[in-house]
Each structure stands twice: as structure tokens, then as C-alpha cells.
Amino acid sequence: MEFAEVVRRRRMVRNYDPDRPVPPEVVDRLLEHAVRAPSAGFAQGWGFLVLEEPADRERFWAAATPGGGGRERWLAGMRRAPLIVVPHANRSAYLDRYAEPDKGWTDRAEDRWPVPYWYVDTGFAALLMLLTAVDEGLGACFFGIPPQRIGAYREAFGVPAEFHPIGAVTIGYRAPDHRSPSLRRGRRPVDEVVRRGRWS
């Protein structure tokens, strides 16, 4: 598929065919592309939890969704996804990397980072998974884990303290679903969001 077509087709898919697993070689490609994302200082401070087994996915929904079960209408189709990938950001990897001699920030001070690149870079990796899914004929959706559920999620999967989940990605073959009501807002045109030369 041409890249422009991948970008045009990308959307958040919230309903999946539960009877069509994602082939192992496609799962591998999703992850291989994710780790090609840019990262500050080539720190690569990310980690990915891959959930393919039904029991693991059920444990995820029980731990990571409000009410501990994800039964809300908008999640009903998401729960059918045969694959969940949880991207995690590791702040320490960046602080350590920039304390190395070629960077020279020996104090590891977080205030040197007005933008936390550990989240930005892990977000880049998640976007590459979303685009790869489209290229492979799959659907995918990035969504957040509510802050009050992070502890339960960590405990359920033994996630080390230094890794913070930035959200989760469901992936699978699309099934018919409802258009998000948010789409009624329409896409803002380029001329409305772009400034050239100066802001005003």
C-alpha cells in the first residue's frame, strides 16, 4: 500500500473479528516497526507488553478499565481484539543516557526536559504500530488506561516501576462498527492549524 493511502485510511477501530487472530509474522512486523521510531539520544527507552492469549487479554480488561471489566458500550468491540500491545515509557533510560559523557548532563535532572521525550518517543512507536496495522490490512485503536487503574494493571502483569504505560493499542481484523460521534466535529483544515513564517 502506498504511504499516502496508509495515512488516509488510518482511523481508530473499535470493533474486531474475534475469530481471526493476527498472524505471528504480522505481530513481529508491528513490533519491528515500533522500535524504528525516533528516540532522543537514541535512548530507546520503551518497552512493549504483548497480550495475545485470551486469559491475558481478559486480565488486561479486568485490571485496566473502569469498573474492572470494560463492559461499557464503547469497549464491547474493543474486547474482541485478538491482540493488545501496551507501550511503556522508561524515563530513567533518558536520564541515564543524557548523563553519559557525549551528552554531559551528569546530574540526571528531570527539569532539563521541558518536554518529556520518553513519552513523545514511545508515542512515536505507538503511531508506527497504528500505521503498520493499516498497511497489513488490520485495524487498531490507541486508548488510555485510566490513572486510577494503573496500579491494578501494574500488579496484574508485574510491570517494573520504571516503566509507565502511555496507553494501549488493540489490533485485529476489523468488524463493522459505529462511527465515533466525535467525527461530527470534522477534520480541521490545514490552513486553520498551520502558521507560516510567524504565528501572528
Residue 110 confidence (pLDDT): 84
**Fold of the domain built from segment(s) 16-177:** NADH Oxidase (3.40.109)
Task: Tell me how far apart the alpha carbons of residues 177 and 80 are, in angstroms, rounded to a whole number.
Answer: 12
Instruction: Output the tens digit of pLDDT for each of the chain's 200 residues.
Output: 898 888 888 888 999 999 999 999 999 999 999 999 999 999 999 999 999 999 999 999 999 987 645 456 778 899 999 999 999 999 999 999 998 888 888 788 888 888 999 999 999 999 999 999 999 999 999 999 999 999 999 999 999 999 999 999 999 999 987 777 777 888 898 988 999 999 98
Residue 177 confidence (pLDDT): 77
pTM of the model: 0.91
Task: Tell me how far apart the alpha carbons of residues 58 and 79 are, in angstroms, rounded to a whole number.
Answer: 8
Task: Tell me how far apart the alpha carbons of residues 149 and 49 are, in angstroms, rounded to a whole number.
Answer: 16
With helix as H, strand as E and coil as C, how does the chain read?
Answer: CCHHHHHHHCCECCCECCCCCCCHHHHHHHHHHHCCCCCHHHCCCEEEEEECCHHHHHHHHHHHCHHHCCCCHHHHCHHHCCEEEEEEEEHHHHHHHCCCCCCCCCCCCHHHCCCCHHHHHHHHHHHHHHHHHHHCCCEEEEECCCHHHHHHHHHHHCCCCCEEECCEEEEECECCCCCCHHHHHCCCCHHHHCCCCCCC
Domain positions in the chain: 16-177
Residue 69 confidence (pLDDT): 53
